[in-house]
Amino acid sequence: MSKLTLNGVSTLCTSTVNMALPVKAELGTIPAAALTQLETDTEDLEAQSNKNQKSIITDVMKPLDKVRDSSLNEIKRVSSSYMKSSDEDKKAAAITLEQFLAPYWDAVSLPLNIETGVVAELVVKYKARPELVAAAHTLGIDKVFTSLETKNTEFDALYLSRNTEYSERETSGSSLKPATIGSYMQFCTAIEQAANLTPNPAILALFYKMDELRKKYHALGGGGKDTPATDAPAK
């Protein structure tokens, strides 16, 4: 479990608690007490995990991304509209820009951080080639390229700030993670012991459900394909 993210531990424990609560009265004194402790620790961790997923920076990033996309789409639209122009200068400028933009045509559909890098590359190459700058000027979209660069730089700064914020929150929430993992392991041990020493249909059913859930999260934690459980209750 230590390899799982804060959110991963939270969701595993929440799912486990939700499985166990309906049969709590049938688990016995010790497993029920362990479940209560797991429920308490999980609620604390879940609250922190939910907090980590929210950032006011995201609210600023979304409209900025739309402006960035709008600038790039305008550049594409204008250059395409002059491809068949009767004005030979504008037609030539459009052809020059279309050829340059071809590798970047679908940039707006890329994941946000990848789009940022692609747009940054586009701007650098555009500014390094005088014929592209001249073509943009001819079509009246040179200021749109400038806006694209500005908004992309602003977006990148916000994106990095948000990542730093998430990292700091993850660190602050990590203080709750060991306690929750300990409670989870304690509850698993209690259910295993109950399944071996004081079994009943509810306990056995819960044991196997928890084990199946454990296998799924084992892969997420980097354990790869899990092997069949060797700690099944004695027959």
Residue 223 lies inside a defined structural domain of this protein: no
Q: Is the pLDDT of residue 57 over 50?
A: yes
State the burial class of residue 105 (Cβ atoms within 10 Å of its Cβ: 0-12, 13-18, 19+).
exposed
Structural domain for 109, as ranges: 56-170
What digits encode the pLDDT tens for the residues 154-202? 999 988 887 776 666 655 556 788 889 999 999 999 999 999 999 999 9
Residue 117 lies in a domain: yes
Give this prediction's pTM.
Answer: 0.51
Residue 97 lies in a domain: yes
Q: Residue 1 corresponds to which amino acid?
A: M
Residue 115 lies in a domain: yes
Query: Is the residue at 105 inside a domain?
Result: yes
Domain count, the chain: 1
SS3 at position 61: helix
SS3 201: helix
Is residue 99 situated within a structural domain? Answer: yes
Q: Is residue 26 part of a domain?
A: no
Q: What is the DSSP letter of 24?
A: G
Instruction: Report pLDDT digits (tens) over 34-54.
Output: 999 999 999 888 877 666 555
Q: Is residue 139 part of a domain?
A: yes
CA distance 156 to 15: 36
The answer on pLDDT for 10 being more than 90 is no
